[in-house]
Structure 1
Amino acid sequence: MYLLFPGRHHLLTRYQKEYLLKLVKHGLSETLDVFGNPLAISKPPTAIIFAVTSANHNNTRRNPLSLYQRAMMIQDFSRELELPSYVVPIDDIGQSPNFASYTLKKIEVETELKVSLTTENTIVLCSTPVANLYLKLGFKILPVEKVPGNKLEFFAKLPWEELEEIVLKRKHSKQNGNDFEKTKNPKNDLPKSFEEFLSEDWKQLDPASIRLWKDYGLFEKVDMLFADTLIGDDGDLTESRDYNTYVREMDEIAELKFHETKPFVKPGRIGDIGCAVGSWIKLVCSDQNYLESDFYGVEIARHLFQICEQRKENGEFINPNVFFLRKNAVSGLVFPKLSMNTIHTSSLTHEIESYGGRDQLISFLQNRFEELVLGGVWINRDVVGPEEGENEVWVWMEEDSSTNFSRSPEEFPNFKEYLDSLSTKERFFQFQRDFRKEEGYVLRASLFYVDGIEYHRMKLKDICEYISKKDYTDNWESEMHESFCFWSFNDWKKNLESIGFRISPKSSEYRNEWLVKNRYEGKVKLFTSNSDNPVKKEDLIPLDFPVTHMLLLAEK
């Protein structure tokens, strides 16, 4: 009789060990199922199958451990059970009513059809609502930590609850000045003050978990993952991004990035932080000047990191010394101090400001400075705000392209079609309502008529935010979180120089003329005025569209 134990298995507890030992030693006959009834099965357990779910995910709050680390822990954990145990990886398929049946099929495939789990030869061990999926298939369920019956009561904490409590206590301990990483217990080399601080809670973990988490420094890793406000529970920067659109856009501009940055890339150790799908590295490592260099692509978004790994496996990178890391460049150093000759980022720093805030952006700048060798360069290509962005301007917006006819968003198949039906002026009002609303930003604009023509008065940086995003109707929700104009080019230089960087005179700010010609002209006109209340057309002074992008070369 197989025991199927599905779960993410990032921690294993003493309670789980004791529960399994009882099943092995005393059999299944008197064990109570999830309803509180004896199983009445005379056959003894013959093997335990640990179905490790989300096996293809790691380095996130929900899934901090890699598959190989979980497998090592399970095998260590199982040595006392005196029963064959098998680790079977189950990749994530999201929230699916067919997850249980998928798991069974996956086990059959992973064991090369040698193990076929049925309701006749398998008992499922599960204490979470996932058990209901197996019940629907006719399997008998052992509730492990859960008290049998309808009440939501438990004999012991679930492993994930243990982990969250430990992380919380570590956080509080650090905030109170306890540095338990530096104080060691000479008997077992565990952090003494931390062990004492946790008291009985530490003892709930199985020794196999303690050994793995201690030897691989996993508590410190999880401290970082849980403290990071920039990345979601599943390791993505934003849950609203359409990655198909995003990847296509990144690939389309890879050549432009390469040719714009190539003259400034220094050979040696070259890192691309926020490397997306690795397109920039692919182009640089193909250049004869960098055949002896080592390349490190850093990407935190799980979906993009997986694409990078697949491209490497496909042999798309000419240089064999291309490595991809799934790390967060905001929370700490990505590379060792004084180790990198070139660091490249593109369209990343504005996202850190937008999703993480100013403190995290400053931390990011400081980390890059620490990582570079003397003479190394950080090439930062990104959007930039206008100088004097707080100054007010008068804005004319076209309104003849509307096909909306006062219809609400609910009357359209999707929000994109609703946005596309709006004129430039109508879409601005939607932007005004949506832009960084969750962050508490208020975009203020006043209505003026000059010679009978409608204008809107607002800050220069606000209209620049709008025109830079107004055409991204297929990714509107994500774009509404992102701030492009928080710093001007001079603001960037001052902040980097305060950290210790020298700004190369070859750095530049520029205007994307394609955007001006194809997105701005005919849609928006900008004006300044010598009068606070212009009344005739002559009072308005035409203003060119400001810069949109920068290439910032920060040298150490």
Structure 2
Amino acid sequence: MVEHGLSEVLDVFGNPLAVSKHPSAIIFAVTSANHNNTRRNPLSLYQRAMMIQDFSKEFKIPSLVIPIDDIGMSPNFASYTLKKIEVETELRLKLTPKNTIVLCSTPVANLYLTLGFFVLPVEKVPGPKLSFFAKLPWEELEGIVSRRKERKATTSARPFTLGLEDPTQIGAAEEEGIYHNLDRACLRLWNDYGLFEKVDMLFSDSLIGDDGDLTESRDYNTYVREMDNIAELKFQETKPFVKPGRIGDIGCAVGSWIKLVCQDPSGLESDFYGVEIARHLYQICEQRKENGEFSNPNVFFLRKNAVSGLVFPKMSMNTIHTSSLTHEIESYGGRSQLVSFIQNRYDELVMGGVWINRDVVGPEGKEIEVFVWMEEESGTNHGRGPEAFSNSKEYLDSLSTKERFFQFQKDFRKVEGYVLRTDTFFVDGIEYHRMKLKDICEYVSKKDYTDNWDSEMHESFCFWSFNEWKENLESIGFKISPNSYEYRNEWLVQNRYEGKVKLFTSQSPSPQIHSELIPFDFPVTHMLMLAEK
């Protein structure tokens, strides 16, 4: 196309373009430039730019790489891209239908057609039929991952190497049919930077979605505020146990804990590594670092998943800190993922190093049955269903504690197949609900998070008690510090539980009078586990 002109090239409708002029430049608009380390966009911007420049060096005309950050699904995406190109080139390039032809094979082409541009269909067959000459990039990527997985399953284990075993083996790999559709510029970069293994990891990880986030239903504005609000509490709880040296905070959210540890005199000579998989939170960490919010210059942030493998070299870390993370791994990834996570932390610590794990915890005896009274006077919805409200939060807030429990019973881990069973009893004319202790603990811990209800309904807090945590950590090889402890968050009890829910036990499976019910205190809610190597 570049060498022979555009006069005979067919546009997206199948008509000859009839442009006699030869192209004078090629502009590569790299969309989602602010995304990386995800299934949709595994490469960073600089890696994509390097590959494009290598690919286009054989052309006889200039090529420019312009980053276009993600703005989501927008009907103005085409016009935004044009404006972004203009800004990124210091207003030197103003692209119009008179001086530019767009290459696009996706429905985004319609946005440029609306603006009056001619569009060449690239992989798409010209005309109205939705068919393609070749695989789209994301299909090619999925195919490579699948073929690599098949090859690994049919070959014996080999020592770990980055990318292809040797750059001279590129031809052999192409002959295998794994990479036959990739340009050699692509192969060179992917091999040099070990990107094939990175993509294998991204596609094998069940914990994160295509865009690299743990859950798509979380309101991150609310989440960030919560993380900042409790940062001082987390710091004060963990400060006495932080060992100087190399300190890692896995699931660092917006870097609040690291920021406070940096300010402490004991951390002046330490190096800090924040690890965050959620794209939105990682970007905030990077922005905070750029703003100069961390007093120690040796603060580094990594966007990596700590479940699928090591994030730090073996035997390299003095302290690893996690907060409110392990229950998410259990909830979204399952037990095998949690055990893998624990093993990875053990492997990363130096001898004498400590993993500080602050998280929710289940009660001892969590399988016992309790009788539960719930208030029912605060409801304001008067029997109206969710459809009568503008959003789910308004509906949930209109429910009494008992009404909201029934909604919880329907929603809690239904995707995972969990069934929350209850029986109803009337004792002296008062209604009680019999259920497992862990189930009512799950409810009271989540009942007030109505703005993040969909996300909370996936999360299990009570899968292990404190002693079960100790047993599982010790089975890996950890020694549990006697300074570890479980505790009850009294603020939650006083402000969220009391007056809303009452717990009882009974020696009778079906008590008939109130004297048979024995009051039962709300159990522990959190733990600080200090696991030493």
TM-score bracket, normalised by the shorter chain, equals: over 0.9
Q: 1:375 to 1:352 in 2, by over 3 A?
A: same
Instruction: For residues 460-510 of structure 1, give each alpha carbon's deviation from its aligned partner in whole angstroms, at most 9, with x where no partner exists.
Output: 000000000001111111100000000000000000000000000000000
1:362 partner amino acid: V
Residue equivalent to 2:44: 66
Task: Say whether the 8 Å CA contact 1:181–1:191 is kept in structure 2.
Answer: no
Partner letter of residue 108 of structure 2? V
Count, aligned residues:
531
In the other structure, the counterpart of 1:103 is 81
Structure 2 counterpart of 1:152: 130
Report the TM-score, using the length of structure 1 for normalisation. Answer: 0.94
Preserved CA contact (<8 Å) 1:273 1:343: yes
Q: Deviations over 1:212-268 (max 9, x none)?
A: 011101000000001111111111110000000000000000000000000000000
Which string of whole-angstrom CA distances, capped at 9 and with x for unpartnered residues, describes residues 299-323 of structure 1? 0000000000000000000000000
1:170 is aligned to 148
Aligned-pair distance for 1:128? 1.3
What secondary structure, in the 3-state scheme, does the structure 2 residue paired with 1:25 have? coil
Match of 1:462 among 439, 454, 460: 439
Q: How far apart in 2 are the matches of 1:187 and 1:310?
A: 37
Question: 1:73 and 1:170 mapped to 2: Cα distance?
Answer: 21
Tell whether the 8 Å contact from 1:180 to 1:191 is kept in structure 2 after alignment: no
Task: Note if 1:488 corresponds to 2:465.
Answer: yes
Quick one: percent identity of the two aligned structures? 79
What is the one-letter code of the residue matched to 1:464? C
**Corresponding residue for residue 168 of structure 2:** 188
- Cα deviation for residue 191 of structure 1 reads 8.9
- Name the CA distance, whole Å, in 2 between partners of 1:196 and 1:74: 24
Give the corresponding residue for 2:184: 207
**1:139 is matched with which residue: 112, 117, 136?**
117
- Residue 242 of structure 2 corresponds to 265
Task: Please give the secondary structure, in 1, of the residue aligned with 2:2.
Answer: helix
In 2, Cα distance between equivalents of 1:453 and 1:389: 25
2:167–2:188 CA contact under 8 A, matched in 1: no
Return the offset for 1:151: 1.4
> What is the DSSP-based 3-state SS (H/G/I as helix, E as strand, rest coil) of the residue aligned with 1:239?
coil
SS at match of 2:179: helix
Give me the whole-angstrom Cα distance separating, in 2, the residues matched to 1:301 and 1:182: 28
Equivalent position to 2:91, from 113, 127, 136: 113
| Aligned partner letter, 2:524 | V
Residues 185 and 191, structure 1, Cα contact 8 Å, conserved in 2? no
Cα separation, partners in 2 of 1:356 and 1:210, compared to 1, 3 Å: same
SS at match of 1:24: coil
- Residue 89, structure 1, aligned to residue 88, structure 2: no
Contact 2:174 2:180 in 1 (8 A): no
- Is the Cα–Cα contact under 8 Å of residues 7 and 19 in structure 2 kept in the other structure? yes
Which structure 1 residue ranges, 5 or more long, are not aligned?
A: 1-22
Cα offset for 1:195? Answer: 4.3
Q: Deviations over 1:363-401 (max 9, x none)?
A: 000000000000000000000000010111000111111
2: CA distance, partners of 1:186 / 1:381: 44
Task: Tell me if the contact between 1:343 and 1:378 (Cα under 8 Å) persists in the aligned partners.
Answer: yes
Q: Structure 2 length normalisation: TM-score?
A: 0.98
Give the C-alpha shift of residue 179 in structure 1: 4.3
Shift of 1:130: 1.2
SS at match of 1:491: helix
The secondary structure found in structure 2 opposite 1:81 is coil
- TM-superposed CA distance for 1:159, in Å, is 2.3
Pairing 1:234–2:207 present: no
Measured against aligned partners, the alpha-carbon deviations of 1:174-202 in whole angstroms (never above 9, x if no partner) come to: 2334547769777814495x5443x2x52
Q: Distance in 2 between matches of 1:95 and 1:76?
A: 30
- The one-letter code of the counterpart of 2:366 is G
Partner secondary structure for residue 80 of structure 1: coil
Task: Select the residue among 375, 378, 385 that pairs with 2:355.
Answer: 378
Distance 2:35 2:445 in 1: 34
Q: Which of 270, 273, 291 is equivalent to 1:314?
A: 291
| Gapped regions of structure 2 (runs ≥ 5) | none
8 A Cα contact 2:40 2:138, kept in partner:
no
Q: Is the 8 A contact 2:247 2:272 kept in 1?
A: yes
Amino acid at match of 1:494: E
More divergent stretch after superposition (97-106 vs 169-178): 169-178
Provide the C-alpha distance between the structure 1 equivalents of 2:209 and 2:45, rounded to a whole number of angstroms.
20
- Structure 1 residue 547 and structure 2 residue 524: aligned? yes
Give the Cα–Cα distance (whole angstroms) in 2 for the partners of residues 477 and 127 of structure 1.
35
Counterpart of 1:42 in structure 2 is 20
Aligned residue in 2 for 1:433: 410
Q: Match for residue 5 of structure 1?
A: none
- Aligned partners of 1:213, 1:171: CA distance in 2, in Å? 17
Q: Counterparts of 1:311 and 1:356 in 2: how far apart (Å)?
A: 29
Q: Distance in 2 between matches of 1:149 and 1:443?
A: 54
Q: How does 1:415-426 map to 2 (within 5 A)?
A: 415-426=392-403
Residue 10 of structure 1: aligned partner? none
Per-residue Cα deviation, 1:31-64 (whole angstroms, up to 9, x for no partner): 1111111111111100000000000000011110
- Which residue of 1 is the match for residue 371 of structure 2? 394
Q: Report the RMSD for the aligned CA atoms in angstroms.
A: 1.3
Contact 1:49 1:87 in 2 (8 A): yes
Corresponding residue for residue 78 of structure 1: 56
